[in-house]
A and B are shown apart, each in its own frame.
Chain A
Amino acid sequence: MKKYALFPGCLISSRLPHLESITLKVLEKLGIKVELLENVTCCPEMVSAKMVNVKAWYTIAARNICLAEEKGLDMLTLCNGCNATLFRVNEDLKRDAKLRLEVNRILKEVGRKFEGKISVKSLLRVLYQDVGQNEIKKYVRKPLHGFKVAVHYGCHIFDEIAHYDDIKKPKSLKDLVTALGADVISYSSEMLCCGGFALPLSEEISLKLAEEKLIDLVNVGADCLVVICPYCFLQYDTAQALLNERYNKNFEIPVLYYSQLLGVAMGLSYRDIGLEFHEIKSTKLAQLISGY
């Protein structure tokens, strides 16, 4: 049985714990063990931390990786942002001996040492590569036939995706959705950023970016949008509520983290899947879960 050191990340731990909960449930059903890492810090977030001090970004991230190394487990990330930082730092420090030496000189102050012994993997990579579509199919109790799913990868996953998928035409998440029996639908703004990055700059730009995709999803008749990043999840879920409230729009496209869609197909309950925590609910989805 495969086992990973779980790095849930700040946002899932502190704002979206239902996504952590459903992920643990589906991983358990798939026979994957996880050990929650204790005393972690923020990954730290790539854009802000790199801009302030690149070496600090490497060092704080390396310290988090050390915690998984000390357990002798590969690290599992649930957030694209965490993955972008931890995957990149792990790869760079393994490759660059001079940088590793500099980082380890500072880590020595806290009694740690980066050894480069483990891999950092996203949930997408673990499910796509380590588990595989065929294995996932075995656990489907309620095939999602006729359910039209649009996927959104999220910008920060593409550094890792380049190692196992085509970054121009990625299919890993689509394959995982297809494995559940659902129909993946294409739409023109599939690769568009969720706009979460623009939030500290301009809420208006951020909402407009989200709206561009939401309009496309309505036009293609998507039953839901599936994401693999909690920031993208939050952006699309809350943006719809804000757009509906402030601009009199009528968006009601449920946004699901992939573990939630997997949970639906595995026959887990509405409560297990955590849909009560969503801004946007869906009757069709609720009917699908309850078996009507």
Chain B
Amino acid sequence: MSLRSAIYDAMKKYNSMRNVRSTTSPPNFYTLITFFGEFGFVNFILYCRELISSVIMKGTAVPMTHRMMRVRKALDLPQIKFDNIEVKKIAEAMGLFKISGEGE
């Protein structure tokens, strides 16, 4: 399969996935994981789930490491504090803990 056709194929699956998602309520997400697992897209779904979980629990998709904290200091940049209080309240109000897996 050529690169372009592989990408086209991936985008077609991705779009079909999004269409299904828009008509499905959050608790059915695990059904979708199974469904798209058959499409070979389980990695992407799990990636999305991990990312959202990180945003809810830590406020960021890319957690800060000690090394990067030192780099920021060396560059004279202030330390970054991501919110993980308000975003949790929002997630709770919207039933996102179930999706992210944090409420299990």
Contacts and interface: CB of A to CB of B under 8 A. Distances in A.
Interface of A: 8, 10-11, 13-15, 17-18, 20-21, 24, 36, 38-42, 44-45, 47-56, 59-60, 63, 106-107, 109-110, 112, 198, 200-202, 205, 208-209, 212, 274
A18 B78 CA distance: 13
7 contacts: A18-B75, A41-B84, A45-B51, A54-B22, A107-B90, A112-B86, A274-B75
Interface of B: 3, 6-7, 10, 17-18, 21-22, 26, 29, 41, 43-44, 47-49, 51-52, 54-55, 59-65, 68, 71-72, 75-78, 80-84, 86-87, 89-91, 93-94, 96, 99
A205 B1 CA distance: 11
Secondary structure class of chain B's binding surface, majority of residues? helix
Given A11-B62, A21-B76, A56-B96, A51 B68 contact: no
A110 B87 CA distance: 9
Given A41-B82, A51-B21, A200-B43, A15 B62 contact: yes
B99 A53 contact: yes
Closest 3 CB pairs of A and B: A48-B48, A200-B47, A10-B62
Contacts of B83: 39-41
Contact of A208 (B3, B41, B44): B3
